[in-house]
Amino acid sequence: MFNTGTKKVIRDLLQEKRRTLTVLLAMIIGVFAVAMMSTSKSLLDNNLTENFLRTNPASFSLFVNNTDKSILNEIQSNKEIEQVTTRQSIWIRTKKNDGTFLPILLYIVDDVQNPLISTYRLDEGAFPLAKNEIVFERTGKKLEHFYVGQLLELHFPGFSKENYTVTGFTHDAGIAPSWMEGYLYGYISASSLPDEFLAKFPTEIKFTVADDKFDLRHIEGVAKETKAQLEQKGVKVINSEIHEPGVHMHQKQMNALMFLILNFGILALFLSCFLIINMISAIMAKEIKQIAIMKSTGASSFQIARIYISTILILAVSSILIGTPLGIMAGKAFATFNASMLNFELFNISIEPMVLLIIVLTGICLPVIMSVFPILKSSRVSVQKALNDTGVENVEGQNHFFSVIGRLFSGSFLLALKNAFRRKTRLALTVISLSIGGAIFITAFNIRQSTNSTIDSVFDKQPQDILFSFSQPCDESRIDSVLQSFSIEYELGFKAEGNFVQTNGLTSNAFTITAIDESSKLIAPVITQGRWVQGGKNELVVNQILLKDNASLKIGDMVNLSIKSKTEEYTLVGVCKEMFTPAGLFMGKSDFARHNDISPNSGNLLMVDALTEKQKEIAAISVGVEEAFKLDHINIVNSITKDAYKTAVVEHLLIIMAMLLSMTMLVVIVGGMGMATSININVSERIRELGILRAIGILKKNIRAMVMTEAITMAILSWVVAIILAYPLSYFLGNQFFTIFFESSMTVSFSSVGISLWLVLGIFIGVISSIMPANRVIKRQVVEALSYE
Amino acid sequence: MKYIELKNLKKDYKTGNNVFSALKDVNLTLNKGTFTIIKGASGSGKSTLLNLVSGIDTPTSGEIIINGTAIQKLNGEQLAKWRGAEIGIVFQFFQLMPTLTVLENVILPMEFVKKMPRSQHKERAMILLNKLNIAALANKYPHTLSGGEKQRVAIARALANEPNLLIADEPTGNLDSANKAIIHETFKQLNLDGKTILYVTHEQEFPDTYTQVVNIADGILTNIVKKEMEVQHV
């Protein structure tokens, strides 16, 4: 059935079990990495969009102060509109066991059981049927121990507080998980609250368009038309929001994750390729005599190469058969973990044919491409040279180097060094393989540390420790009197939502406005373009995220800023860099007060510097200030400490950190295996030479020490190269990742833990992996080792 | 009939700045069907001569014409083809493929050279094994054989593609007396069958059916002793 060449291939593979298994393992890891990465990427990509689209997201929203059902019905008859529904969003709070408050974004929907647009499904319990019943989004359970049947005291704006029963939990795939944002999502029916209370808050009318749902221009056109229609009927539209069609709010996180998955996947593949080259080169070196004999019997270089390429093909196919199911399983598990982190479900876990094609192509093509050079090189070897290969090689051209080293070290150490440098190509391949592994490992640690240190430095630069938001602007004098007993520093400012009014009559998506004293000591944004605002001149400074959303904006532009339906013209004078914040702008407090006809000596945002670094003290001050305001009937809608905010930012990055951790684990396995294999092959290749050393009287322990020294030399050499490689790699990957995620660059720092750990791991693996082959050599009789071929 | 012509053959090896002349201006003509023993001490240049004749090594200067082909002009691939069609080599250390059976070791060169249809390979291999009295070992692996048996398998492999020239490099150098005798007998028989044989040895004992003994020392052919004839000095 098989020709003799094929039989030789199969039997050689079976004969050299250890060697076969090692090469196979290197290939399996490559296939595994590709299968895992491509599976998880494909599943996450497809399912995130699928999950989001299943929520029937709104194409656009118009915000109005009052709605009339009959007008909405009329608008729904417009053939461009598919569905219309209304929703109100109110910030309420519930008291936690420790006395602090947990914010709740309360959605008041037309029909809580059957939302038309931005849908959710019941995950546990039941929908609220009676008054004073509420359901929460399921991810809120990670914030606090909530359960079905629990009675909660909910604090509504304007001091009303009522007891509500939790009837169940929903799954809302269209929103960010509660644990990530640091607040709960609650859902109740509009009928649960009195009309006069709801009338205080704007209503969001959500629309889906009938056709071209993914055409942003079409959606903009329909939104403009609908706004005009509403205004014709006397409904004042405060602002509008056009959602990027089909894009989930966590797409940015997903993109950052995908970027890292892809890049680390490519690096893992690259590492696997070097391992394959390294091992194939070693195998070919061992086969050289057999190649010579085959050539002496008339085999051409091509025929020889074909035999060894067949070997690689057999191994490649085997690695695909083993690595693919394992990689797909791991990819599914990784995707499931990430999906649960981002609160979406994997509806479709079938593997796309393209993923299988990528696995098979990379699994077969890469090993073959990587092995072509060493195979061709060996198959072209001259018969005479190969037949004269005694297994003991001369070292040339290193005399000067070793004569210098020789003066410093003892004979056996020098011999070990010489051995490490004996075969330069092999040494280079081994060091490169290990260095790539080390570079990935150190880079993963660096990105992790850089992320943490960037977050730390950003938060350390912010003097304010606690932010309080009031339901209404409050006078400075009143605040002063409440806070006079506290040893704190504070400033009063304004926080509101605003929009730019565009030339087409629609507004931009809402962004955050922070109005502060021009000479504020508690908020000092980093200006990257232009300058800071001067009070009384209607000037604005936008952050880089808002600038990206409104790409045509430039310094000196006049913009129409709308705050609570009132529009005024402002000059854009600067751009600042903010991190971990949404799109927003800064303006002078006096300008904001004038714009909104309120006193400049008031504010709805209180920034507090607790004058302590201790989180417990800051939390105590937060609770104390809250109580003091309560006693003075100042209504707080939200309060957050810097630490809690930082925690929320860190939680957003958990998924990335988990990914980096799994990457480092993979690299430890692959890199460790690479080093073990290289050393194993190096020693196996020199059994005869080591036999000679033993024949001339070198002790067993010296041989063992020599092999270990060789391994440690390689480990240290690759460690140095890894550090050098990790430097540009960390800068590139770190900055790209941060730009995708935060629209900002990262302060790259080097992780001494990662660097030291890789050195320790390298030496440990080197020592462990050299003991085995060294013992094998030692166990051989001298005569046996001398006759070894 | 001239079969091998070596004209002004030189082979130098460079080691560092030194040049070592392994063969110095060798001229030799061998006829078809002859059995030539090349004899010399270790380092005399006999193996170098054999490597040049078999195309394993290339000369520094001079010509090697075998059966009308100037082999020093052939490139690596052409040499491999030529070797497969024209010569068979027997090595001192047998050099059998350890993971192939005796039968498969003999078939392997046939598959490389493709001189005959694949369907005939097994039959041809069995004929050779029968001829060398090792047919019973056909399905055994090399490591189970004695030295003499291994060398007979190596001879069968060398004969696989019906070569005109059989080159043997110290074929009995690794064998005991009993096995040496068997191998000598085998070569005798092969020569009687019409094969041209080039047999390199440093030993005093070699097959007694030789045509001539070429003595070599320090890269120079010292004399050629033709059987039952006078010594011819070169």
For residue A614, count other CB atoms closer than 10 A to its CB: 9
Q: Same domain, yes or no, for A197 and A291? A: no
Q: Same domain, yes or no, for A419 and A362? A: no
Q: Is the pLDDT of residue A679 over 80?
A: no
Tell me whether B118 touches chain A (CB under 8 Å). Answer: yes
Tell me whether A302 touches chain B (CB under 8 Å). Answer: yes
pLDDT, position A105:
93
Q: Which of A236-240, A312-316, A361-365, A537-541 has the lowest mean pLDDT?
A: A236-240
**Among candidate residues A115, A62, A109, A118, the one with its CA nearest the CA of residue A233:** A62
Of B54, B76, B100, the CB nearest to A8: B100
pLDDT, position A2:
67
Q: Same domain, yes or no, for A428 and A472? A: no
Q: What is the 3-state secondary structure (H, E, C) of A469-506?
A: EEEEEEEHHHHHHHHCCCCCEEEEEEEEEEEEECCCCC
pLDDT, position A420:
64
Place of tokens 């005109």: B164
Tell me whether B108 touches chain A (CB under 8 Å). Answer: yes
Q: Same domain, yes or no, for A4 and A86? A: no
Q: How confident is the model at residue A343 (pLDDT cuts 50, 70, 90)?
A: confident
- The distance from CA B129 to its chain's CA centroid, rounded to whole angstroms, is 18
Question: How much is the average pLDDT of A93-113?
Answer: 85
pLDDT, position A234:
84
Tell me whether B106 touches chain A (CB under 8 Å). Answer: no
CB contact under 8 A, B111 and A296: no
Dihedral sign, Cα of residue B92, residue B98, residue B103, residue B108:
negative
Tell me whether B109 touches chain A (CB under 8 Å). Answer: yes
pLDDT, position A574:
94
Question: How much is the average pLDDT of A401-423?
Answer: 62
Residue B12 lies in a domain: no
Measured between its terminal Cα atoms, the distance across chain B in Å is 20
CB contact under 8 A, A300 and B77: yes
Dihedral sign, Cα of residue A691, residue A695, residue A699, residue A700:
positive
Query: Can you tell me the distance from the alpha carbon of A640 to that of A51, in angstroms, rounded to the nearest whole number?
Result: 31
- In this structure, the dihedral spanned by the alpha carbons of residues A183, A188, A194 and A200, taken in order and rounded to 10 degrees, is 40
CB contact under 8 A, A293 and B95: yes
ipTM of the complex: 0.84
Query: Can you tell me the distance from the alpha carbon of A682 to that of A547, in angstroms, rounded to the nearest whole number?
Result: 58
Q: Which of A271-275, B47-51, B207-211 has the lowest mean pLDDT?
A: A271-275
For residue B233, count other CB atoms closer than 10 A to its CB: 8
Q: Same domain, yes or no, for A119 and A210? A: yes
Among A372, A389, A406, identify where a domain stops: A389
Tell me whether A521 touches chain B (CB under 8 Å). Answer: no
Contact, B163 vs B88, CB < 8 A? Answer: yes
Q: Same domain, yes or no, for A472 and A443? A: no
CB contact under 8 A, B84 and A299: yes
**List of residues 6+ apart from B163 with CB closer than 8 A:** B85, B86, B87, B88, B195
Residue B20 lies in a domain: no
CA angle A198, A201, A207 (to 5 degrees): 95
Q: Is the pLDDT of residue A713 over 90?
A: no
Residue B91 lies in a domain: yes
CB contact under 8 A, B81 and A296: no
Question: Which residues in chain A are closer than 8 Å to B89, comparing Cβ atoms?
Answer: 296-297
Q: How confident is the model at residue A385 (pLDDT cuts 50, 70, 90)?
A: confident
For the full predicted model, state whether its pTM sits above 0.80. no
Q: Taking the CA of residue B178 as centre, how many other CA atoms within 13 Å lie in the half-sphere pointing to its CB?
A: 4
Residue B77 lies in a domain: no
Q: Which of residues 156-215 of B touch A (CB under 8 A)?
A: 157-158, 160-161
CB contact under 8 A, A297 and B112: yes
Question: Which residues in chain B are closer than 8 Å to A20, comparing Cβ atoms?
Answer: none
Query: Can you tell me the distance from the alpha carbon of B136 to that of B101, in angstroms, rounded to the nearest whole number?
Result: 12
Q: Same domain, yes or no, for A99 and A179? A: yes
Tokens of B145: 């054989």
Residue A182 lies in a domain: yes
Question: How much is the average pLDDT of A489-513?
Answer: 87
Question: Which residues in chain A are closer than 8 Å to B108, comparing Cβ atoms?
Answer: 4-5, 8, 294, 297
Q: Give the three-state DSSP class for A564.
A: coil
Residue B114 lies in a domain: yes
Question: How much is the average pLDDT of A538-543?
Answer: 93
Question: How much is the average pLDDT of A457-471?
Answer: 85
Domain containing residue B105: 32-58+85-233
Q: Same domain, yes or no, for A403 and A342? A: no
Of A7, A11, A299, the CB nearest to B112: A299
Question: How much is the average pLDDT of A592-603?
Answer: 93
Q: Same domain, yes or no, for A364 and A439? A: no
Minimal Cα distance from A15: which residue of B?
B99
pLDDT, position A401:
58
Amino acid at A279: M
Amino acid at A563: I
Residue A309 lies in a domain: yes
Phi, psi of B165 (to 5 degrees): -120, 130
Question: How much is the average pLDDT of B101-116?
Answer: 90
Q: Give the three-state DSSP class for A80.
A: coil
Question: Which residues in chain A are closer than 8 Å to B97, comparing Cβ atoms?
Answer: 8, 290, 293-294
CB contact under 8 A, B57 and A8: no
Q: A169 exposed, middle or buried (CB, 10 Å; 0-12, 13-18, 19+)?
A: buried
Minimal Cα distance from A381: which residue of B?
B76
DSSP per-residue string spanning A353-382: HHHHHHHHHHHHHHHHHHHHHHHHHHHTS-
Q: Which of residues 14-53 of A touch B (CB under 8 A)?
A: 14-15
Residue B38 lies in a domain: yes
**Among candidate residues A128, A212, A114, the one with its CA nearest the CA of residue A168:** A128
pLDDT above 90: percentage of residues in chain A: 24
Question: Which residues in chain B are closer than 8 Å to A299, comparing Cβ atoms?
Answer: 80, 84, 109, 112
Tell me which of A779 and A168 has the higher pLDDT: A168
Of A290, A298, A380, the CB nearest to B112: A298
- Determine the angle formed by the axes of helices A301-341 and B76-86, rounding to 10 degrees: 120
Tell me whether B141 touches chain A (CB under 8 Å). Answer: no
pLDDT above 70: percentage of residues in chain A: 91
Q: Is the pLDDT of residue A51 over 90?
A: no
Tell me whether B77 touches chain A (CB under 8 Å). Answer: yes
Residue A631 lies in a domain: no
Q: Same domain, yes or no, for A315 and A371? A: yes
For residue A482, count other CB atoms closer than 10 A to its CB: 18
Residue B130 lies in a domain: yes
Tell me which of A137 and A704 has the higher pLDDT: A137
Of A290, A380, A384, the CB nearest to B97: A290
Contact, A694 vs A734, CB < 8 A? Answer: no
**Among candidate residues B217, B218, B216, B213, the one with its CA nearest the CA of residue B230:** B213
CB contact under 8 A, A298 and B51: no
For residue A657, count other CB atoms closer than 10 A to its CB: 15
> Mutate which of A297, A378, A787 to test chain B, going by most B C-beta atoms within 10 A?
A297
Task: Tally C-beta pairs within 8 A across A and B.
Answer: 81
Identify the helix (H) or strand (E) that includes residue A207.
strand A203-209
Beta bridge mates, B215: B39, B223
Residues A250-267 pLDDT 10s: 777 777 777 777 777 777
Residue A623 lies in a domain: no
Among A389, A421, A448, identify where a domain stops: A389
CB contact under 8 A, A8 and B113: no
Among A586, A609, A632, identify where a domain stops: A609
Q: Same domain, yes or no, for A785 and A673? A: yes
Query: Can you tell me the distance from the alpha carbon of A522 to that of A605, in angstroms, rounded to the nearest whole number?
Result: 12
Tell me whether A382 touches chain B (CB under 8 Å). Answer: yes
CB contact under 8 A, A297 and B76: no
CATH of the domain at B205: 3.40.50.300
What's the structural domain count of chain B?
1
> Mutate which of B60, B82, B103, B108 to test chain A, going by most A C-beta atoms within 10 A?
B108
Of B91, B104, B118, the CB nearest to A7: B104
Instruction: Please state, rounded to an integer, the average pLDDT across all residues of chain A.
Output: 83
Residue A630 lies in a domain: no
Contact, A586 vs A526, CB < 8 A? Answer: no
Q: Is the pLDDT of residue A392 over 50?
A: no
Phi, psi of A491 (to 5 degrees): -135, 150
Contact, A590 vs A536, CB < 8 A? Answer: yes
**List of residues 6+ apart from A270 with CB closer than 8 A:** A436
CB contact under 8 A, B76 and A380: yes
Q: Same domain, yes or no, for A591 and A709? A: no
Tokens of A14: 């079976």
Tell me whether A290 touches chain B (CB under 8 Å). Answer: yes
Domain containing residue A581: 466-609
Minimal Cα distance from B105: which residue of A?
A4
Residues B133-145 pLDDT 10s: 899 999 999 999 9
CB contact under 8 A, B109 and A383: no
What's the structural domain count of chain A?
4
pLDDT, position A127:
92
Residue A615 lies in a domain: no
Q: Is the pLDDT of residue B230 over 60?
A: no
Residue A625 lies in a domain: no
Q: Which of A341-355, A451-465, A774-788 has the lowest mean pLDDT?
A: A774-788
pLDDT, position A411:
58
Q: Taking the CA of residue B217 as centre, how many other CA atoms within 13 Å lie in the half-sphere pointing to its CB?
A: 5
Question: Which residues in chain B are closer than 8 Å to A302, comparing Cβ atoms?
Answer: 77
Dihedral sign, Cα of residue B50, residue B56, residue B61, residue B67:
positive
**List of residues 6+ apart from A392 with CB closer than 8 A:** A686, A688, A689, A692
pLDDT, position A779:
73
pLDDT, position A345:
83
Beta bridge mates, A636: A470
Q: How confident is the model at residue A781 (pLDDT cuts 50, 70, 90)?
A: low
Tell me whether B84 touches chain A (CB under 8 Å). Answer: yes
